[in-house]
């Protein structure tokens, strides 16, 4: 925020957007392909860390990821309907 406060959500009023600066976070990437991976164990550790960080930042579990453009290239990490 312009007054130096750090916020984790976007202000509702567009009038409050001026002066906001994003906080970028850098994470290690991976050179191994994830294309077509069907099992969680087939993902590189850096990819798993990335998914975990998304969950931490959003407070929401990542249940499904895609590893390619085809609908069959979808990995269900957790059943989204199993509460």
Does residue 31 have a known ligand-binding role? no
b/e burial code for range 45-57 (CB count within 10 A of at least 16 → b): eebeebeeeeeee
Domain ranges of the chain: 14-76
CATH class of 14-76: alpha beta
pTM above 0.85, yes or no: no
Q: What are phi and psi of 64, to 5 degrees?
A: -135, 135
pLDDT tens track, the chain, 83 positions? 667 778 777 788 888 788 788 888 999 999 999 998 989 999 999 999 999 999 999 899 999 999 999 988 999 998 888 86
Does residue 41 have a known ligand-binding role? no
Does residue 8 have a known ligand-binding role? no
């Amino acid at each position: 925020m312009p007054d130096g406060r750090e916020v984790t959500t976007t202000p509702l009023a567009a009038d409050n957007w001026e002066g906001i600066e994003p906080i970028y976070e850098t994470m290690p990437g991976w050179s191994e392909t994830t294309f077509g991976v069907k099992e969680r164990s087939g993902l590189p550790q850096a990819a798993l860390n990335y998914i975990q960080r998304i969950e931490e930042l959003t407070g929401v579990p990542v249940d499904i990821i895609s590893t390619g453009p085809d609908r069959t290239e979808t990995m269900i990490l957790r059943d989204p309907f199993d509460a």
